[in-house]
Amino acid sequence: MAIFKGAGVAIVTPMQKDGSVDYDKFEEMVEFQIKGGIDAIIVCGTTGEASTLSHAEHLDVIRCCVDVVNGRVPVIAGTGSNCTETAIYLSEKAEVIGADGLLLVSPYYNKATQNGLYEHFKAVANSVKLPILLYNVPSRTGCNIQPETVIRLCKDVENIVGVKEASSDIAQIAKLAALADGAVDIYSGNDNEIVPIMALGGIGVISVLANVAPGQTHDICQKFLDGDWEGSLREQLRAMELCNALFCEVNPIPVKKALELMGLIGGTLRMPLSEMESANVLRLEKAMKGYGLL
């Protein structure tokens, strides 16, 4: 059974002006998501600035999310690393904390061969019992998980159940879907590709857009799952300008600015991320107004 179907939010980690985690605002964001109809919460991913959280902060944010959600929707914890031992450590701790699943990004910087990826993910999966989603985002990691490797892992390792596909390579994703024979739960990792990937057999999205529009992102997925493909496509196309604006600078710079403009959180980022350029702020504001968020 899939960990979730529909729209999962790759939730931001709000920061106070001194750079510390703002747990009060994080709790408010979790409640905003659940009230908006989100289907799952993915915590401590790229959008959550996990790469600049200490291990203690990383686990505290996961714990806070699990506690606030209190079983209302699945919580999937990002516990990947370019160090296999670190990924195992974070994954084991997240399981104890009470996460419902894990998201494991492919090793970055040091990268790996396809055999190396297989052994890395298998080692992490064997250290826990939680269901696991792989995360393929070559633009961030410099490492592409090939379809054959995804399928091999999902067939060989019982608790590796799917993949967040953010390669932006529709041909590769189509190949994965064709070869998978139902063995892989595929989620779009890009908000501007939800409908195309669901049309190839995907079952949802792990979304940045959902931070500001949880209900609308849920509707794109739910309409498709319900067979209202025209309605799903209509909602996808209506969101395109905003999707593109949310990625006009490196994620999560624009989405944090969008949440600040909505009055939901402060826009503080941890270095090396920097304040959004003024021209791009204007572009983002225009897209948000066009989408009815401002």
**Which amino acids are annotated catalytic?**
135, 164
Distance, in Å, from the CA atom of 80 to the CA atom of 109, rounded to the nearest integer, reads 13
Are 164 and 130 in contact by the 8 Å Cβ rule? The answer is: no
Q: Could you tell me which residues are beta bridge partners of residue 75? A: 41
CA 287 to chain centroid, in Å, comes to 22
Measure Cα distances from 285 to 104, 167, 274 in Å: 33, 27, 18
Are 204 and 4 in contact by the 8 Å Cβ rule? The answer is: yes
Closest Cα partner for 136 from 176, 100, 101, 91? Answer: 176
Distance, in Å, from the CA atom of 133 to the CA atom of 143, rounded to the nearest integer, reads 16
